[in-house]
């Protein structure tokens, strides 16, 4: 594959040779603006995917495969299947299907690396678009879920009774605990980070904002976090606020928080047990509350460039940072020995080709 190849060291104009993994990158350092060739970037990594192609992860069955295929066509080469706040039987149904999909990647599908359990361990006062099934977490319940599918990220509200102790236990087991859907204070956020919390779920959304006398959970993130998710659909977060986060959080990374409405026309879709409406470029509950997004990661990349990031920096925010966050050292970068997960973009940043573990999508 020939073009302008983005390596960890910078742009190379030349050829990427691969099978299931990258074998070599041959070429010379170059300014990609000096020629008209395609861009070859690391495949996108999305740690927050609820749905797509009219399907929702909470359905179970073949939904994870259909969703992974939709996102693969938009350049996502690996993802975390994300659940909703729901009764245990609903979560178990979803995890059974996700666990099976983690074991075997279907043709043309993004690799499902595991689960992002977004709820039910959140604050009932900050549900956002989550159904009203929030509850206190127990280690026994999480271990039962882990037996069904690999827990990679778990969102919790740290101010809920017993959660701060659980943060440390989960962090010690290698789970990335994120702070989200929370009414907690700045102090609650700092305490959670000190106990091993690793990031923040869709920064700015469903958490107390920044005030100069009450910095809130957003203040804790901006002052102390190394990692956080952000949704760059330009609806959930104003471009100016995205720039604030980019200056403050060294390894900020982008997610879609995509729903069944991603890749679909306007209309009604399901998000867990909630009916959501796709209209005016977004997804909302009947009362107008934003309810996930229709974003795909190629759109996220274009939006970052639109608000002023270089293509190299934007690529890091949709790929490498998330890989590092998850400890996936062989994804999210183009280097010999890494999985051949990459996207080919034209000069307008539209997808021309996607390769996942060497397979053309």
Give the chain's length.
361
| Beta-bridge mates of residue 218 | none
Judge whether 264 and 44 are in contact, CB under 8 Å: no
Our measurement of the distance from residue 40's CA atom to the centroid of its chain's CA atoms, rounded to an integer in Å, reads 21
Please state, in angstroms and rounded to a whole number, the distance separating the CA atoms of residues 93 and 57: 10
Cβ–Cβ under 8 Å, residues 307 and 243 = yes
Q: In sequence order, what are the beta bridge partners of 282?
A: 279
Q: Compute the distance between CA of residue 295 and CA of residue 256 in angstroms, rounded to an integer.
A: 5
Q: How far apart are CA 235 and CA 149, in angstroms?
A: 32
Note whether 119 and 181 are within 8 A (CB).
yes
Closest to 253 measured CA to CA, from 150, 324, 195, 333: 324
Q: Which helix (H) or strand (E) holds 25?
A: strand 22-29
Interatomic CA distance for residues 58 and 271, integer angstroms? 8
Burial (CB count within 10 angstroms: exposed 0-12, middle 13-18, buried 19+), residue 211: exposed
Distance CA 231, CA 84 (A): 17
Q: What are phi and psi of 152, to 5 degrees?
A: -100, -40
Residue 257 among the catalytic residues? yes
Name residue, tokens 């998850």: 326
Residue carrying structure tokens 């590092």 = 324
Q: 90, 257, 298, 341: which one is catalytic?
A: 257
Q: Helix axis angle, 139-146 relative to 163-172, nearest 10°?
A: 40
CA distance linking residue 261 with residue 298, whole number of Å: 16
Q: Which residues are designated catalytic?
A: 257
């Amino acid at each position: 594959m020939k073009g302008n190849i983005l390596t960890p060291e910078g742009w190379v104009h030349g050829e990427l040779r691969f099978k299931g993994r990258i074998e070599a990158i041959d070429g010379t350092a170059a300014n990609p603006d000096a020629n008209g060739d395609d861009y070859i970037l690391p495949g996108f990594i999305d740690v927050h995917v609820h749905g797509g192609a009219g399907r929702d992860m909470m359905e179970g069955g073949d939904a994870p495969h259909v969703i992974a295929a939709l996102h693969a066509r938009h350049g996502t080469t690996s993802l975390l299947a994300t659940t909703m706040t729901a009764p245990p039987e609903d979560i178990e149904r979803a995890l059974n299907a996700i666990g099976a999909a983690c074991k075997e990647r279907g043709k043309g599908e993004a690799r499902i690396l595991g689960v992002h359990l977004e709820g039910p361990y959140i604050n009932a006062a900050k549900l956002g678009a989550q159904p009203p099934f929030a509850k206190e977490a127990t280690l026994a319940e999480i271990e039962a879920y882990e037996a069904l599918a690999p827990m990679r990220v778990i969102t919790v509200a740290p101010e809920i009774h017993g959660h701060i102790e659980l943060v440390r236990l989960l962090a010690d087991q290698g789970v990335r605990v994120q702070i989200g859907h929370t009414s907690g204070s700045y102090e609650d956020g700092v305490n959670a980070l000190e106990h091993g919390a690793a990031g923040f779920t869709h920064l700015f959304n469903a958490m107390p904002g920044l005030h100069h006398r009450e910095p809130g959970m957003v203040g804790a993130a901006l002052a102390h976090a190394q990692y956080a998710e952000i949704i760059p659909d330009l609806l959930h977060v104003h471009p100016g606020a995205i720039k604030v986060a980019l200056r403050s959080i060294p390894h900020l990374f982008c997610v879609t928080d995509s729903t069944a409405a991603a890749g679909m026309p306007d209309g009604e879709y399901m998000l867990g047990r909630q009916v959501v409406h796709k209209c005016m470029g977004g997804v909302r509950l009947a009362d107008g509350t934003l309810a996930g997004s229709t974003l795909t990661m190629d759109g996220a990349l274009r939006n970052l460039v639109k608000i002023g990031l270089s293509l190299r920096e934007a690529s890091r925010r949709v790929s490498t940072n998330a890989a590092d966050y998850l400890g996936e050292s062989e994804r999210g970068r183009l280097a010999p020995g890494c999985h051949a997960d990459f996207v080919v973009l034209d000069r307008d940043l539209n997808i021309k080709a996607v390769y996942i573990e060497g397979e053309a999508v």
